[in-house]
Amino acid sequence: MKTSSLTLPRAALAALALVRLLPAATRAADRAVELPAYEVTAPQYSSGYSEFVEKLNRIFDAPWVDARGSPLIQAIVWRHGYLSEHPSDEAVIYVNQQDDGMVTQATTIYTQDGKLYANSYALGERMRLRGLTAADIHDRKKIEGAIDGINDAFALSAELATASIRGLGDLVVGDHVGFQGGGNGIFESYVLPVSGERATRVPGQFSPYFDTVYTSGDGNTGQVVPTGLNPFYQGFLDPSGGTGDRYVAPPAAMLDNVYRALRDPSRAGLVPVALSPVSYQVQSKRGIRQKTIPALVFDWEGVHYVYRPYSGTIGHAIPRNPVTGLPYLCVKDDGLIESIYFSATYLKTHPQEKAVPVASDSPFAAYTVNGRLCLFSPALNRFVELKTVDAGAIANPSSLAPSVARARALLAAQPGPVASARVRHSAHVPNRLTGDTPDSQMRRIFVAFQDAGIPNLHLSSGESSTLSFSWQGVHYVYGSDQQLRQVPNG
């Protein structure tokens, strides 16, 4: 990772003296994600002070990240940190969303010594799921039942818990709030013991105890929230987490820090992520108008999310290929990358069949299904069977050109089907998702191609990103201009 030189201001140097008095969490070298070769160039800091504050946060909060309004981002970073130290264990993030896509909860379920534990900003770092074992980690019904039971127990004693916490009374907190194993600072986790950080669409409804002073999408104020060990807070050593503590990061600074965390493979793995302007509709007395704000966009487990500090995280499923069941890549290309990906994933689950991408003015994939020859056209977002062509013709894809041309002409003349009343059929496979950049699209390709087993895969992620790979004896390079080119082998 490349970073700028660090010049500390006087205030930072003074704070560093305090830092020495406080325990620092350390983490083992990254071993959680075994990837083919890739290079990531870190973005430059806007100032030495910003770099210092970000490093200070990592010392106190690792493996957490300060992403107010996004328990999912916190879970992604925490999960990666845990797997880095426990590579033989498993960790799965369970995400809860409202009907509109708003993330309300993200809980990391992880194994240790054959037992099952839950971690979230609401539950703390180590909540034992009694009655469940490591074998239940993928059983969503059991997991959700156990978590609901915990939340119900917290809710029943909410008033007592709040009173006990404020007075540091007899409440035993060590077993469920993250005091063990580092956590998010020794005073951070316990302040949300009931319902957690449930992001909502209503500014000012951040947590059950504290209101945000951030009221505008473009505002640059901080937020009144309970804090951890941050010496830039007045009274930061006060264990009561009083409302006099003001969180130091305004939305713009928080976006920058969270973007760095998700972009850093040593902190989050390789996540498709971008910091981009995002448009949304605002209802006012004058009617509906468009507004654009900076936001963080990222992919996780087939869902594309948009995050804005203190406002929340909204995610919608990436459109899926009905044959493979996997999300489309949704990248800028003429269809060849999508055809290559289809061929690779189809053969992985149907090794007895054949599938080849065919480069042309409108690339497509030819594949066999039980002795029948079929085509997938990303440009038309259609699948078609060639009933008059023998499946053996796939061995000579160029011979399919006349049949392909006829099929495309017929498909182009037909109206697009409607999958359901709620799902519209696009005329072509989408070539971008909200807030995408060339770099985030290359990361999406890299992660998908890695899972598909595509060989000779290499990513250079930075200001001028490039992706290279091989498929069926042909070597390709996808450049920062988002054009896919064949290059000579060797």
> Is the per-residue pLDDT at 78 higher than 60?
yes
> Is the per-residue pLDDT at 113 higher than 80?
yes
Across 17-31, 55-69, 111-125, 245-259, least confident range: 17-31
Q: What is the per-residue pLDDT for 17? A: 34
- Residue percentage of the chain with pLDDT more than 90: 41
Confidence band of 307 (pLDDT split at 50, 70, 90): very high
Tokens encoding 47? 């100032």
What is d(CA 311, CA 314) in angstroms, rounded to the nearest whole number?
10
The pLDDT tens digits for 140-196 are: 999 999 888 776 666 555 445 444 444 444 433 333 333 233 333 222 222 222 233
The mean pLDDT value of the chain amounts to 73
Q: Is the backbone of residue 199 left (phi > 0), alpha (psi -120 to 50) or beta? A: beta
Across 194-208, 218-232, 281-295, 341-355, least confident range: 194-208
Q: Which residue type does 409 have?
A: A
More confident residue, 244 or 335: 335
Residue 38 DSSP SS3 = strand
Identity of the highest mean pLDDT range in 202-206, 239-243, 467-471:
467-471
The pLDDT tens digits for 440-453 are: 999 999 999 999 99
Whole-number Cα distances in Å, 154 to 161, 318, 460: 8, 35, 46
Q: What is the per-residue pLDDT for 53? A: 66
CA torsion 218-220-221-225 (nearest 10°) is 80
More confident residue, 57 or 209: 57
> Is the per-residue pLDDT at 210 higher than 90?
no
Q: What is the per-residue pLDDT for 157? A: 52
Residue 313 DSSP SS3 = strand
Across 13-22, 329-338, 387-396, 427-436, least confident range: 13-22
- The residues with which 300 forms a beta bridge, in sequence order, are 303
> Is the per-residue pLDDT at 204 higher than 90?
no
> Is the per-residue pLDDT at 378 higher than 70?
yes
What is d(CA 107, CA 196) in angstroms, rounded to the nearest whole number?
11
What is d(CA 271, CA 285) in angstroms, rounded to the nearest whole number?
40
Q: What is the per-residue pLDDT for 142? A: 94
> Is the per-residue pLDDT at 367 higher than 50?
yes
Q: What is the per-residue pLDDT for 340? A: 98
* Distant-in-sequence, close-in-space partners of 52: CB < 8 Å, separation ≥ 6: 6, 8, 9, 12
Confidence band of 31 (pLDDT split at 50, 70, 90): very low
The pLDDT tens digits for 319-352 are: 999 999 999 999 999 899 999 999 999 999 999 9
- Residue percentage of the chain with pLDDT more than 70: 65
> Is the per-residue pLDDT at 6 higher than 90?
no
Please name the helix (run of DSSP H) or strand (run of DSSP E) that holds residue 364, with its range, or none: strand 364-369
User: What is the distance in angstroms between the CA of the first residue and the CA of the last residue of the chain?
Assistant: 28
Q: What average pLDDT does this structure show over 220-227?
A: 35
More confident residue, 244 or 99: 99
> How do the domains of the chain map onto residue ranges?
10-315, 336-487
Q: What is the per-residue pLDDT for 338? A: 97
